[in-house]
Structure 1
Amino acid sequence: MGTLAAVAPADSLTIFYPMWNEEGSIRLAVDAGRETGDALVAAGVLSSFEVLIVDDASTDATGAIADELAAADPRVRVVHHPENRKLGGALKTGFAEARSALVLYTDGDLPTDLHDSLPKALRLHRLYDADIVSAYRHDRTAEGPRRAVYSFAYNALIRFGFGLRVRDVNFAFKLCRREVLNHVRLASDGSFIDAELLIKAHRLGYHIIQFGVDYFPRTRGISTLSSGSTILKIVRELGTMYLDLKDIEPLPPEVLHGPPPTMASPSPEQRTRRLRRRRAHPAASNAPRVEPRLLIVNADDYGLTEAVSEGILRGHREGVITSTSVLVLAPAFEKSAKWLVDTEALGVGVHLALVGEDPPLLSPREIPTLVDRNGRLPISWKVFLARCGAGRIDSADVRRELNAQLDAVGAQDIRVTHLDSHQHLHLWPMVRQVVLDLAVERGIGAVRVPRSATAVPGIGLNRLASELARAAAARGLAFPGHAVGVDEAGRMDVATIERALVRLGRTNAAAVELSAHPGEAEDPDRGRYRWGYHWGEELAALTDPRVRVAIERHGFVLGTYADLVRSAGPAAR
Structure 2
Amino acid sequence: MSGKDLPRRIWLCADDYGLSPGVNRAIRDLIARGRLNATSVMVVGPAIGRDEIEALQHAAMTNPRCAIGLHATLSAPFHPLTMHFRPLDGGLFPPFAKLLRKALLRRLDADIIGAEVSAQLAAFAEKFGRAPDFVDGHQHVQLFPQVRDGFFVAIKQAAPGAWVRQGGRAQPLAQRLRSPKALLLDLLSARFRRAAARAGIAFNPAFAGAYDFSAAADFAELMAQFLDGLPDGGLVMCHPGFVDDTLKRLDPLTDQREREYAYLAGDAFPRLLAASNVTLA
TM-score between both structures, scaled by the size of structure 1: 0.44
Which stretch of the first structure deviates more once superposed, 345-354 or 289-298? Answer: 289-298
Q: Where do 5+ consecutive residues of structure 2 fail to align?
A: 170-175
Identity %: 24
Shift of 1:471: 2.1
Amino acid aligned to 2:72:
L
- Report if aligned partners of 1:439, 1:446 keep a CA contact under 8 Å in 2: no
Q: Which residue of 1 aligns with 2:95?
A: 379
Q: What's the secondary structure of 1:474's corresponding residue?
A: helix
Q: What's the secondary structure of 1:457's corresponding residue?
A: helix
- Report if aligned partners of 1:294, 1:556 keep a CA contact under 8 Å in 2: yes
**Residue 457, structure 1, aligned to residue 181, structure 2:** yes
Q: What's the secondary structure of 1:296's corresponding residue?
A: strand
- Report if aligned partners of 2:168, 2:190 keep a CA contact under 8 Å in 1: no
Amino acid aligned to 2:140:
H
Shift of 1:408: 0.5
Q: What's the secondary structure of 1:557's corresponding residue?
A: strand
What count of residue pairs does the alignment treat as equivalent? 264
**Residue 356, structure 1, aligned to residue 81, structure 2:** no
Shift of 1:477: 2.4
Match of 1:421 among 114, 121, 137: 137
**Residue 498, structure 1, aligned to residue 224, structure 2:** yes
Deviations 1:11-40 (A, max 9, x none): xxxxxxxxxxxxxxxxxxxxxxxxxxxxxx
Amino acid aligned to 1:481:
P
Distance in 2, Cα, partners of 1:324 & 1:450: 16
Match of 2:39 among 324, 333, 339: 324
Relative contact order, CA 8 A, sep 6+: which one is greater? 2
Q: Which residue of 1 aligns with 2:263?
A: 541
Q: Which residue of 2 aligns with 1:196?
A: none
Deviations 1:35-60 (A, max 9, x none): xxxxxxxxxxxxxxxxxxxxxxxxxx
Distance in 1, Cα, partners of 2:262 & 2:184: 32
Q: What's the secondary structure of 1:349's corresponding residue?
A: strand
Deviations 1:199-258 (A, max 9, x none): xxxxxxxxxxxxxxxxxxxxxxxxxxxxxxxxxxxxxxxxxxxxxxxxxxxxxxxxxxxx
Gap change, CA 1:550 and 1:464, over 3 Å in 2: same
**Residue 556, structure 1, aligned to residue 278, structure 2:** yes
Q: Which residue of 1 aligns with 2:192?
A: 468
Match of 1:512 among 234, 239, 242: 234
**Residue 433, structure 1, aligned to residue 149, structure 2:** yes
**Residue 528, structure 1, aligned to residue 237, structure 2:** no
Deviations 1:361-411 (A, max 9, x none): 122xx22x2313x3211122x201223345542212111111111110000
**Residue 262, structure 1, aligned to residue 27, structure 2:** no
Distance in 1, Cα, partners of 2:125 & 2:88: 24
Deviations 1:436-462 (A, max 9, x none): 222222223311111363351344321
Shift of 1:469: 1.7
Shift of 1:351: 0.8
Distance in 1, Cα, partners of 2:179 & 2:22: 34
Gap change, CA 1:294 and 1:439, over 3 Å in 2: farther
Match of 1:395 among 71, 92, 110: 110
Q: Which residue of 2 aligns with 1:310?
A: 25
Deviations 1:178-197 (A, max 9, x none): xxxxxxxxxxxxxxxxxxxx
Q: Where do 5+ consecutive residues of structure 1 fail to align?
A: 1-260, 264-288, 560-573
Q: Which residue of 2 aligns with 1:135?
A: none
Amino acid aligned to 2:193:
A
Shift of 1:551: 1.1
Gap change, CA 1:485 and 1:455, over 3 Å in 2: closer
Q: What's the secondary structure of 2:5's corresponding residue?
A: coil
Amino acid aligned to 2:279:
V
Gap change, CA 1:546 and 1:415, over 3 Å in 2: farther
Q: Which residue of 2 aligns with 1:240?
A: none
